[in-house]
Amino acid sequence: AQRVTQPEKLLSVFKGAPVELKCNYSYSGSPELFWYVQYSRQRLQLLLRHISRESIKGFTADLNKGETSFHLKKPFAQEEDSAMYYCALRGSSGSARQLTFGSGTQLTVLP
């Protein structure tokens, strides 16, 4: 069975500081990893996916298959980054192709 673990429920950083939201996964095959974000009073939306290898709103995430991690990073946090962040995994076949979400990390960027 696939599993996504986000060890931090809450994370606070000051504006301008680096931020890293941790995500570890368990899956025997080749997974696709995603980060979703939910800003206050807004819908859950896709932030980035590992296959795109892109930077969105200054955030990047690298898939580390050796450590089975997909941590989300930003060098200089902004107040508008305050939100709930979910890491998600999609497996490669059958019912594993459904999105499995972690429990989320609430990021607060302090002024």
Partner 1 sequence: EAGVAQSPRYKIIEKRQSVAFWCNPISGHATLYWYQQILGQGPKLLIQFQNNGVVDDSQLPKDRFSAERLKGVDSTLKIQPAKLEDSAVYLCASSLGLLARNEQFFGPGTRLTVL
- Residues between 15 and 74 that touch partner 1 (CB under 8 A): 32, 43-46
103 touching partner 1, by CB under 8 A = yes
Residue 9 or 65 having the CB closest to partner 1: 9
Burial of 35 (0-12, 13-18, 19+ CB in 10 A): buried
Residue 89 or 109 having the CB closest to partner 1: 89
Among 83, 86, 107, 109, binds partner 1 (CB under 8 A): 86
Residue 19 or 100 having the CB closest to partner 1: 100
Q: How many residues bind partner 1 (CB under 8 A)?
A: 19
Classify 95 as helix, strand or coil.
helix
**45 forms bridges with which residues in the sheet?**
37
Angstrom distance (rounded) from CA 50 to CA 34? 6
Angstrom distance (rounded) from CA 95 to CA 16? 41
Angstrom distance (rounded) from CA 53 to CA 4? 20
Residues forming contacts to partner 1 in the complex (CB under 8 A) are 4, 9, 32, 43-46, 86, 88, 90, 95, 97-104
